[in-house]
Amino acid sequence: MATKKPQITAYLTDEVNKALDQEAAKERRSRSQMVALLLEEALRARGYELTSDDEEVSK
């Protein structure tokens, strides 16, 4: 995965931060990778079609 500059700033509750850290550790991902994956999954669940360039997030 190529390193990119941050494109989103999010303010999360302590509970969400804790859950995010736990899931990232389980899947051996960084926080940034986990957030990107969750956003991608949420968009797909809502019916958005992502281009193949965008799919690099989940690799």
Q: Can you give the pTM of this predicted structure?
A: 0.68
Task: Label residue 50 by pLDDT band (50, 70, 90).
Answer: confident
**Which pLDDT does position 59 carry in this prediction?**
45
pLDDT at 37: 92
Whether 20 and 29 have beta carbons less than 8 Å apart is answered as: no
Q: What is the C-alpha to C-alpha distance for residues 16 and 55, in angstroms, rounded to an integer?
A: 24
How does pLDDT run across 9-47, given as a tens digit for each residue?
889 999 999 999 999 999 999 998 999 999 999 999 999
Report pLDDT for 1. Answer: 54
Extents of the domains making up the chain: 15-46+53-58
